[in-house]
Chains A and B, each alone.
Chain A
Amino acid sequence: MAQKVLIVDDTAFMRMTLKNVIEKSGYEVIGEAGDGEDAVSQYKELQPDLVTMDITMPKMDGITAIKEIKQSHPDAKIIVCSAMGQKPMVIEALNAGAKDFLVKPFDAERVIEALKKAEA
């Protein structure tokens, strides 16, 4: 069965781009969240296998969302998505329990590699 992915990003454009890449590779995108709070509640509801998590988002940032998800689901597989200049935040996200990170602009191959490695 196809692995289920939750995409979290505050811009619809980025969600669209990611969804396109992810679905082409045989994954199923079961949800999209636009902020951290939404991500946490959708995670609980949908129980996805994998999550791509943006860092800078309104309401609740990605790092806080990772921490919240990890607290109730320690096995959650989350890939953090960042921009070039966000090194300290990526490290914080990794410390919070993210499995891998992706740097924008996304390279399709890298996205799939990250998903494959995270799912293992």
Chain B
Amino acid sequence: MDTSDFKEVFAAEARDYLQSLNENLLALETNPDDIGLLDDMFRAAHSLKGMAGTMGFSALADFTHHMENLLDRLRNGEIQVNTEVANLLFEAVDTLEAILEQTLAEEAPDDTTNLVARLSSIQDRAQGGSDGITATTTGDSDTTVHSAVPELGDRETVTSRKLVLDEFDKETLKQAKEQGLSSYRVTVTLKDNTLLKSVRVYTVFQALEELGSILKCFPSAQDLEDENFEREFSLLLTTHADADEVQSVIEGISEIESVLVAEPSQLHLTQREQGTETDGQGPTALENAGPEPSLINSQGDGDEDSNSNGLSPAADVPSPQKGGDNSSGNGSSPQKKGRFGDKFVRVETDRLDKLINLVGELVINRTQIVEMGQQFDDGDDQNTIGQLDRITTDLQYAAMKLRMVPIKQVFDRFPRMVRDIAQSREKHVQLELFGTDTELDRTIVNQIGDPLVHLLRNSVDHGIESPSERIKAGKPEVGTIRLGARHEGSHILIELSDDGQGVDVEAIRKKATAKGLLDPERSSPLQPDEAVRLLFEPGFSTAESVSDLSGRGVGMDAVKAVVESLSGTVEMHSKPGQGTRTTIKLPLTLAIIKALLVRADGTPYAIPIQVVRENLLITPEQIKTVRQKKVIMRRGEVLPLLDLAECLGWRPAEIDGAISVIVVDVRGEKIAFIVDDLIGQQEIVIKSLSDLLGDIPGIAGATVLGNGQVALILDNSTLIRQEG
């Protein structure tokens, strides 16, 4: 099988599993006794291991295997969840994530020897033995990792051939015999290339359940369901039917290569396996420790059977009658897949972008056709064109919806992050998330993460006080940060609030004065909102020390810059002692924007409407010169006056008669531009310039107007930097 085709699906699904591991782990910290969470985690790790194995990613499979072992012991209550275990699991999940990404990028995965040793050591301590750990810690990393992989494989094939009965099984067999039932060991070999092996096994079980009852199967039902076997499996059947009947029922099923129905005692002789395994740890080692791997009880000695007692899962047989329920117990992933598989399809983002781009083209053509149609005043044509118009508009909205993703994607990683920061700061913080299903443009979702991370870090670092300070201030010991998103008209509001100490006005005053942002002579007290405004000034950062979190030299101004590049705004309010609230307002989509169309040197240009403050007509006399630069006065403000065409490298407009001027305001910086004239305001579909052209300073993209003409979209922040 060529697995490369599956890599993308694998990657997406593996990341889902990692996310669920992370979420469950967080939940586990608060509810260490919740076995359900551990079950979910175990299954996630198990599925991940299986997937990685299928893809041939041995380092990933191996590491997941170690994690799965620990999770298995945790969910069985053999080891208790404590902070040490939780931290180790967090570290393991992180490492897993790293290995996954490295594997996907076809890089050499990190060395996990140390972590694997610690994972084993926790288990060994619980067991009271330390044999396992010496095996994993000695030797260099490479040999350890590699030797571990075949060990895993060996063990699975060995167990798959084993047929060990425990006391309970023996008792059941005895009772069956008393009732006049026969027992058979049925060994089935599937044809080569059988697809959906597990389902084929299921049909065999289904058919046999009609004849009698299946006491046990090998490999375990879980392994059969996960297809952790080659072609052969066996089971123990008690039935009224005779061997020939059993034989013919199974032969009536498709894709069966061969069937062997035998009395249990005979099989013991014919199917005897050599104990070749050298596996030195884990429960299977105990199974293999006996003098011979007994297949069935009749001749087995008592000691060995009691060894195996309880180690092979007893009630492990899938029952066709309750197939659905069965899968929920034995592995939620296939069922989960089915449930979500119905509702969602994974699509490459490139394909999506292409579709949206094409719809954009269609919208433009629609506009042209509608304009053309208006020239012919024919009722029928108008009707058809009107319909085309409506359908295209619907299609456009539908396509826009495709770009929308829930903000959950960004929020999901925050609980973990806040936990980590809070722990390193020795603070108690709880993060509450709201409106995680709120949808917004994928481009925005992809970019809003960093600013939010920064704000959250600030809240934990500077906002929330230490537990002792909080108690002193009469607040609950645990600080609360609330992060939510909601729709408001054609905008999305993201609100982040904390119940911390608010911004430290005094610290800001000192810092701002030192940085020359504030007049040192100033005597009036600084108001909180004023202090907040200073925070957003470029180059301002309140972090006292450069911690690994806040204060990486990127301050609130960087947050503001990102938000504004997404055509959004950010506001912050702070009340001393009560907390800080930050509100980010973003447009729903970036693909269509409202723009003001202007003409410069005969060519149309589009300017995003939200930066346009006003447009005016001036006379040449109103243009003043300050330090050899042209300016105009507007409401007491001196605005630099530039010629748009000139800025873009074209012929400047003639200064004569009434001059059209637009005033733009980018991040508080106001500039007036001379243009030929204004065309008007309209919604435009943004198209990026092709790779051939690359990034052109001052140009954010292009759009095609109704008349087919191309207009470049001006990126004002770039324009200002160019001229500043």
Contacts and interface: CB of A to CB of B under 8 A. Distances in A.
Nearest to B336: A88
A110 to B, nearest CB: 7
Consensus secondary structure, chain B interface: helix
A103 B320 CA distance: 20
Given A110-B255, A117-B253, A120-B252, A94 B202 contact: yes
Given A88-B335, A88-B337, A94 B199 contact: yes
Contacts of A86: 338, 341
A23 interface: no
Contact of B203 (A94, A103, A107, A113): A94
Given A91-B323, A114-B254, A84 B203 contact: no
B617 interface: no
Nearest to B206: A94
Nearest to B322: A95
Given A85-B341, A87-B199, A100 B324 contact: no
B203 A101 contact: yes
A114 B196 CA distance: 15
Interface string B321-335: 001100100000011
Consensus secondary structure, chain A interface: helix
B195 A88 contact: no
B314 to A, nearest CB: 23
A87 B334 contact: yes
B254 A100 contact: yes
A90 interface: yes
A22 interface: no
Given A87-B198, A101-B203, A117 B320 contact: no
Contact of A87 (B196, B206, B253): B196
Interface string B199-210: 100110010000
B253 A91 contact: no
A66 to B, nearest CB: 14
A89 interface: yes
Contacts of B206: 94
Contacts of A101: 196, 199, 203
Contacts of B252: 117, 120
A30 to B, nearest CB: 23
Nearest to B227: A87
B195 A103 contact: yes
Nearest to A88: B338
Q: Which residue, A86, A87, A103, A120, has most C-beta atoms of chain B within 10 A? A: A87
A95 B199 contact: no
Contacts of B254: 100, 110, 113-114, 117
A92 to B, nearest CB: 7
Interface in B314-358: 320, 323-324, 327, 334-335, 337-338, 341
Nearest to B341: A85
A92 B324 contact: yes
A54 to B, nearest CB: 15
A43 B467 CA distance: 73
A82 to B, nearest CB: 8
B327 A88 contact: yes
Contacts of B203: 94, 100-101
B392 to A, nearest CB: 25
Interface in B181-224: 193, 195-196, 198-199, 202-203, 206
A89 B338 contact: yes
Contact of A88 (B193, B253, B255, B334): B334
Contact of A100 (B195, B198, B253): B253
Nearest to B253: A117
Contacts of B253: 100, 117
Contact of B196 (A84, A107, A120): A84
The 3 tightest CB contacts between A and B, nearest first, are: A88-B338, A103-B195, A91-B323
Given A85-B337, A86-B341, A94-B206, 19 more contacts: A84-B195, A87-B198, A88-B324, A88-B327, A88-B338, A91-B324, A92-B323, A92-B324, A94-B203, A94-B323, A95-B320, A101-B196, A101-B199, A101-B203, A103-B195, A110-B255, A114-B254, A117-B252, A120-B252
10 contacts: A82-B196, A85-B341, A86-B338, A87-B199, A88-B324, A91-B327, A95-B324, A103-B196, A113-B254, A117-B252
